[in-house]
Chain A
C-alpha cells in the first residue's frame, strides 16, 4: 500500500517538475536572445561587462607603454588623451557599476530562492541598453572620436566646441543612456530584495548580499540622478548654448564639479560595497560558520552608504574653497574609516572564530584585503587637505584609487568568479590556474602601483602623455609598466580558465563549498526554474541550520512546486516579515524589450549627431515598443483570483497599490526622479549663493502670473487624476475616462501657458545662467507632464479595452502615484522660479 502510494507520489512530483520546466524553459535557436530570465540576462550582462573590462584594460596597457620611457612617441598626445579618458570612463561606467548589477541579476534570485526578479523584462531592457550604449561609447576610439578630457570632463574645456568635439557628446549622451539602464536595474534589485524574498525570511534573516544590494541600490538612486541632471545641463550648453558653466554669462565651471562629485564619490562606494557583499558571502563559507557580527556589518554598510554622500568636496580641495568647509569635509572623509574598519574586522573575527578552509576564492579575498588596506590608509592621507594639496592630481592619487578599486572591487570580483562559477555553469574553475592567476595579479599589481605613490610624491601629475627625463620619474615608470603587464598576464590566466573547454570535466558536486545560504540549493548543472520549490526560511543559513532542508526543497515540499497553468510564477512577500502576499506571474521571453532598447539607444545616438528628425522617429518607435511591452506583459488579468501555493496556503494572483511590486517600483523610480529634480533646484540656489547678481537685475520674467496660472491648471489635472482613481474603484467607467481626458487637456493648457507665457516675458535661456536655469526647470516639468499625459491616455485605452476595471486597477493606481510626485514637482518649480525672486 505504502509502496503504491510512494510510486503515485513520485509520478505526481515528476509531472510537477515537468510542468515547471516547461514554463521556465529557455528559448532555443535564434529565439534564445529573446530570453528575459535572470539566469540568461544576468550571464550575458556579466560577460558584456567583463568584455568592456578587457577593452579598458588594453587601453591601460597602451597608456603604460607610452609612459614606460620619457619623451616617448608611441602614442600621440591626442590618442593618449582619448585612451586614458576612455580607460577611466569604461572601467567606471561599463565595468565597475554594471558588473555589480549583472552579478546581482544573476545570483540575487538564487540567494533569495526566488524564481526570477519581479520585472524580468526590465532587466533585459537594461541589459540591451547597456550593450548598445557601451559599444557606442567604446567604438568611438576607432574613429578617433572618443572623449578626451578625462573621465570627469571638467568644463569649460569640454564646453568649448572647438577643443572638444563629438567625443564629449558621445560621453554625455552615451553614458546618460547607460545611467538610465543602471537606475532601472537598481530599481529592479531593490524591489527584488524588498518583495521577492522567500516566506519566513524576515529582514534580519536576509543574507548579507541582499543587504548590500539594498544599500547600493538606494545609493544608485540618489547618486546617479545628479549626474544625469548635470549631463542635461551640460548637453544644453553644448547643443543650445545655455550658459550653465560659462562665467561670462553668470555660469560657473564649479557647478559641474559639485554635481559630478555628488555622484562621483558615492560611486566609489557603489563599486566597493557590492564587492564587500561577495566577501560577506564567501568568508563565512570558508570559515564554516555564520558571519560573526551580522548586525555590525549591516549597520556599517548602511552607515557607509549615508556617509558617502557627505564627502564629495574632498575631490575639490584645490579649488580654493574656504578652510572651514574643507575642514568639515576632511573630518567627514576620515569618518568613513570607521564603518569600513568595522566591516573588515567582522571578517577577521569570523575567520578567527571559525575553522578556516583555504581555497582559491579565499586567497583572492586575502589579496583584496591586503591591497585595499593600503588603499584605505592612503585614503586617510589624501582626505587631509594639507596633504591632498600635494597629492591631488598626481600619480599618488592614481596609485591610491587603483589600490582602492582593485583591492576593493576587482580581487573580490575574481574571488566571486571562482566561488560562484559552479553555480552558473555547474563546473568548478581550476584551483591551479586560479593560484597562478592570483600570484601574477597580486605581484603585478603591486609592482605596477606601489612605485606610483613615489612617482606622485616626486611631482608627476596624472594625465600627462609624456614627461621629460631626469626628474626622478624614469625608472619608476618603467617598473610600473612592467608590473602592469604582469598584472595583465594574471587576468589572461583567469580568462583562459574561464574559456578553456570543460566538456570532459565532470560537474561539480552539489553545494561544492558546503555553504549555508540558499543559492547553493542549485543543482549541478542548474535548472531554469532556479529552485524546485520555494522554501520556508527560518534562519540565516538554512542549509546549515534547517533539518532536511535540501531534501524538502527537492521533493517540492515547500511552495510553488508546480506550474499548473504553465505560467512563470514567483512569490511576493511583505517587506519586513516576508509573509506571502501574492503569487506573481512574471512575463516570459520577448523581443520587445530588445526593440525598445534599440530605439531608446537611437534617441541618444542620433541626438549626439544632432540628427533631430531621426531622434524623433526613434523616440516614437521607442515609446511604441515600450507601450506594446507594457500592454502585453504587465497588469495581466488572471483567469482566477487566487491560487494554492502549497501547504494549504492561498495567495492572490493580482495585486495593486502599496503591497504590489509595481507600486513599489513606481515609488522608488520617482524617488530617483526627485533626486534629479532637486539637483536642478540645487543648481538654481548654487548660482544664487555664488553669484551676487542672481537673479540679474535686468532679467525679464519669468514673472508670477503665467507660472501661477500654469500651476493652477496642473493641480486641476492632478485632482482629476486622483478623482479618476476613485471613480474607477466604484466602476464609474465614463467618469474615469472623461476625467482623465479632461486632465490631459488641462495639463497641455498648463504647459502651454507656462512655456508661451514665460517666453512672452522675454526671458532668454542663452543670455544668462539665470534664464538657462529657469528654462531648464520648465523643460524638466514639461517633459514630466508629457510622460504623465501618455500614462493617462494609456489608462483610458486600457479602460476601453476592458483591461482596467474597479477590481483590476494596477495602472490607475500607479499613474495616480506618479501624478502625486508630478504635482509636487510643479508646485516646487513654481515656488522656485516665480516666488523666490520676490523674497530675494
Chain B
C-alpha cells in the first residue's frame, strides 16, 4: 500500500481547503497584523525607544509573525479535523487502509502549511514598516516550522476530543491567545518584576518566540538550544498523545 499517495492526498485536500477560503484564512491576519505594526510598532513604538538594542518595531515583528503562525497552524487543524468529524467524512479515512500516523501527518502538514503561509504574508506586510535583518535563517525557519508543528498537533488533539463547536473555540480563546500575548511578543521578560519573570518561564510560547526572534534579529531572552529542546519535547509528547487517541478511536469511533 502506497502511504505516500494517501499522505499527499490529505495534504493537497487541506491546502486546497484553506486556499479556497482565503478571505477567511489569509486576509484577516494580513489586516490585523498591519494594524499591530501601525499602532504598536509605528505610533507607540517611536515613544517606547529600544529594547535590548533593537527598535521597538524590529523587536515586535518576530513575535507577531510567530503569533500568527501559532494561531493559524492551530486553527487550521482544529477546524478542519473537527468538521471532518462533524460531517462524518472522517469515515472515508477510517474505512480506507490509511494508518493512523498518515492521517496525523497529513492533517498536521496542512496546519504547518497554513501557519507558514500566513507567517510569510505577515513577514511581507512587516516589510512595509521596517527592514528586518535575518541573523540566522536556519534558526528562524526551523523554529517557525517546529512551532507550527507543535500547535498543529495541539489543534489535532483539541479537534479529536471536541464534542461541539464550542469545544474548539475554548482553547484558542482562553489558552492560546493569553499565552501568546504573555509569551514576550511585545516585551522582553527582563522588563518584568522577579516573580513574573519566573512564572513566564513556564510559558512554552516564550521559548519559541525567543528562538525565532534570535533567528531574525539576533536577540533572545532564553538560551536557543533550550528553546529547541523544549519545542522538540512538546512535539514528541503531542505526537504520542495524538497517536494514542487515534489508536483507541477516542472521539472518533463509536
The answer to whether A and B interact is no
Residues of B within 8 A of A (CB): none
**Which residues of A approach B to under 8 Å, CB–CB?**
none
